[in-house]
Structure 1
Amino acid sequence: MKAIAVYCGSSRGIDPIYMEEAKKLGEVLVDNGLDLVYGGATVGCMGAVADSVMEAGGKVIGVIPERLKNVEIAHQQLSELHVVKTMHERKALMAEYADGFIALPGGTGTLEEWFEVFTWAQLGYHNKPCALLNIFEYYSPLLSLFDHMIEQGFVKEEYKDLIVMDKDSKELVKKLLNHTGVYIDKWR
């Protein structure tokens, strides 16, 4: 495993813990010899994780759509910054660079990007781990939704087991490094 894509908010969140944990995750990635692939912005949790990786001497690859380049204030000090035309290109390039995926707390964009790679894992397009950093139980309601979808017959119970989750970034990255991808045939 060489690089981890991190999806997170361009906002800071209301509690300082979100920014602190974004910085901590950046340090943990570098401590484990992992590059960061992320959305390319200087603001919010996105900027915090990128700055943390660079301050620790790590490599940061940013991917930002042209339309968001000025809105999200594209980071100019990255190891690599790729400016693409669309969000689809952004997500595809991030997935290509990454060997695993982590979602920090964030909004609908964070969830949309993470769910896409998680769905790809369900369909067997990749065997890369998809993880949630569950700071302050942020993603616990999402797990309740998974339980509801399972109970209603729309999601196989085994798919919930594909979610790698922890509240501590050190433990989460350890789980990613030890992950062995398993494809579950959706139609069997």
Structure 2
Amino acid sequence: MAESKRKDSPLRRRLKVVAALSLAVAGALTLAPASAQAETTGDHCVYDIVTEELTCADTPEAALAANSVGIQADSVLVRMYNDTNYGTANGTHTLSAPGSYTCSAAYSPVEFTITRMGSFVNKASSVHTYHSCDVKLFDNESATGTSSTWIDNLANLNTAAGGWSNRASSYQVS
């Protein structure tokens, strides 16, 4: 699987600090080793932007719950669906960040580049974004090659210019 390639930007450093402080406030949390926390079976996966782990389960809700650590809730930034019209029957890929994260209003600079989609490569048929985020899809796993326009919410990715249903191998968020 390709790994995410991101600069350690001020935003990323801030997210790391927020995550570390959240764990400290939670007090006596006992964390299992990272390999034990990341469940990779199931059709619904959550990619955590801070831990860079892909956690999967049988439902979108169970994947989010398995991904969450401590008392701090995660913000869903992007959810891709294997079905058109935001259907969850055949799987989802969700991008999460700790706390209440909101994307900037501008497309530049790109806030996150996600190159780790697990088994969801070439499966997205619809996408929904949250917290002022937009997504740009790429043909290649390294966020290179042909890309879509910036997408906010789209119930059928085939209606996007160039037809993007079952085509995305990586994506950017801004």
Same fold (TM > 0.5): no
Q: Which has the higher helix share?
A: 1
Give the alignment's TM-score, normalised by structure 1: 0.28
Give the alignment's TM-score, normalised by structure 2: 0.29
Q: Which has the higher strand share?
A: 2
